Chains A and B, each alone.
Chain A
Amino acid sequence: MNMFYIIDAEILGIIALTLRLTFLSTTIAAIIGIPLGLWLDYANFTGKNILVVVNRTLMASPPVVVGLVVYLILMRQGPLGFLGLLFTFEAMVIAQVLLITPIVCGIVYTASQRNSENIRMFAFTMGANKIQTQILLVKELSNEIFFAVITGFGRAMSEVGAIMIVGGNIRHHTRTMTTTISLLRNRGEIDQAVYLGAILMIIAFIVQMAGDFLRRRERRADENF
């Protein structure tokens, strides 16, 4: 097995598309999921518990099911078929966002539920208004929010089922690293698949390391636990 393949233009294109898809869908999921998680903790309304349970269910939803739902919505005869988004980059982003948003929302909700009472109480006693309280809450929960986003990022990067269905794995168009690996495996080109898998793992590792570097708490020299 020859593990030393040249990274050609096609591979670079696939890597670029994968990163673009992952970053974009994670960003959108964070923009929706973080406020939603905070709101879910703060708000009191009938059916809140059901919404929390639904979100938890969606956190574990199988990607192929999400892919199928998005496919049915975007297919020509579907309700949004007129948009012509099926088998496009945008369709893959939609599927990824649907998969990741509940994860980000769920982790942020749990963290907020655990800590927000003290933070809100403190903000209130300091005379903070609602916006200042929210800013403080996000700042104080930044580690947990970061964890939520990085978990979503990991899920997005490793996802294959949903984007395969809605993206179609079209060469030079919607082919990502994971869908390529899947295709190569089907073709029996295992060494090439392993090679791409290794690149994927290295990219994921670098991104996680970069994130960890920004958030790391230094272990004190005298710590003995």
Chain B
Amino acid sequence: MKISKIKKNFDRFSLYIEELDIAENGIYGIIGSNGCGKSTTMKIMAGLMKPDSGHVDYKNLSQQDITMVFRKPFLMRDTVIQNLIYPLTLRKIKPNTDVVNYYLEIAGLQELRNQYAPGLSGGEQQKLALIRAMIFSPKMIFIDEAFSNLDLESVSFFESLILARQQSEPIMYVICSHQPSHIKRLCDHVFFMDKGRIEAEGSATEMLANHKNMLPLSYPVVF
């Protein structure tokens, strides 16, 4: 996927991305302070928002290959299991019991499979949203600050799951966060955004080491 010369204007904010190229499978990070345009960039990339101008080249990806996990997950008014298999149902794929059980097990939701999903705790909801995004094997997953409100154990779950999946079935992840620690542990390549622009890009280690001065003073770099 490649986006070029993307412009998006809001009342008090304007986004301009000269070029952002995600050419290979890997975990890409977009980092920057609140309001720098990370989520907007992601929504444009995921096809959820039309830019005012510019071009998004999906190459050989279709909408069916792309999914997104939001900071505030959306769960249907249905059971955990129905939420989990929803993307399979849409594709008329018969859920594989072993695969479903595997995901429920690793997310710690096996016992809650028949519970009403919106009644789960925040962390459980977020875990469900992530495994739901993975279960249909998309080629690209956007994760928009999904770790923001999670405890350390849940964050660790997310990171382990993504890294394990990436070992067995590499795809493209784009993770947006304002926590450098997540980015450092997960990402192969990082884009640093500030005031609606991509200011720098590179490997996570390089970026976070060399561009600390680009972060606002109030922005803690904790590894």
Main secondary structure of the interface of A (DSSP, over half): helix
A111 interfacial contact with B, CB 8 Å: no
Chain A neighbourhood of B74, CB < 8 A: 118-119, 121-122
Given the contacts A127-B64, A136-B76, A121 and B91 also touching, CB distance less than 8 Å: no
* Residue-wise interface mask of A (135-150) relative to B, using a CB-CB cutoff of 8 A (1 in contact, 0 not): 0100110110000000
**With the chains together, A142 CA to B47 CA distance in Å?**
27
**Known contacts A119-B74, A136-B76, A126 near B48 by CB under 8 Å:** no
- Is B90 within 8 A of A125, CB to CB? no
Does the CB pair B86–A121 fall under 8 Å?
Answer: no
Of A124, A125, A127, which is in contact with the most chain B CB atoms at under 10 Å from its CB? Answer: A125
For the complex, what is the distance from the CA of A127 to the CA of B68, rounded to whole Å?
10
Say yes or no: is B31 at the interface (Cβ < 8 Å to chain A): no
B29 within 8 A of A: no
Q: For chains A and B in complex, what number of residue pairs have CB atoms within 8 angstroms? A: 38
> Considering only CB atoms, which chain A residue lies closest to B116 in the complex?
A217
For the complex, count residues of B whose C-beta is within 8 A of A. 20
Closest A residue by C-beta to B74: A122
On chain B, the residues within 8 Å of A122 by CB distance are 74
**Other-chain contact of A127, B48, B70, B77, B91 (Cβ < 8 Å):** B91
Is A128 close to B, CB under 8 A? Answer: yes
B41 within 8 A of A: no
Interface flag for B32 (CB, 8 Å) = no
Residues of B within 8 A of A143 (CB): 77
A125 touches B46 (CB 8 A): yes
Instruction: Tell whether, in the assembled complex, residue A126 and residue B77 are in contact, meaning their CB atoms are under 8 Å apart.
Output: no
**Is A132 located at the chain interface by the 8 A CB criterion?**
yes
Does B51 sit within 8 A of A, measured CB to CB?
no
Q: Mark A86-124, 1 if CB is under 8 A from B, else 0.
A: 000000000000000000000000000000001101101
Task: Using CB atoms, name the residue of chain B closest to A124.
Answer: B48
Which residues from chain A contact B177 at a C-beta distance below 8 Å? none
In the bound complex, residues from chain B placing their C-beta under 8 Å from that of A136 are 76
Give the residues in chain A near B86, CB-CB below 8 Å.
126
**B67 and A140: CB pair below 8 A?**
no
Docked Cα-Cα span, A145 to B90, in Å, equals: 23
Chain A positions within 8 Å of B48 at CB level:
121, 124-125
Any chain A CB within 8 A of the CB of B196? Answer: no
CB neighbours (8 Å) of A127 from chain B are 63-67, 87, 90-91, 136, 138
Closest beta carbon of chain A to B8's beta carbon, Å: 17
- In the complex, which residues of chain B have a beta carbon less than 8 angstroms from the beta carbon of A139? 76-77
- Residue of A whose beta carbon sits closest to that of B138: A127
* Contact (A140, B87) CB under 8 Å given A125-B48, A125-B67: no
For this complex, 10 residue pairs linking A to B, each with C-beta atoms less than 8 Å apart, are: A125-B68, A126-B90, A127-B63, A127-B64, A127-B66, A127-B136, A128-B90, A139-B76, A140-B76, A143-B77
**9 closest residue pairs by CB, A with B:** A122-B74, A127-B64, A125-B68, A126-B87, A125-B67, A118-B74, A128-B90, A132-B90, A126-B90
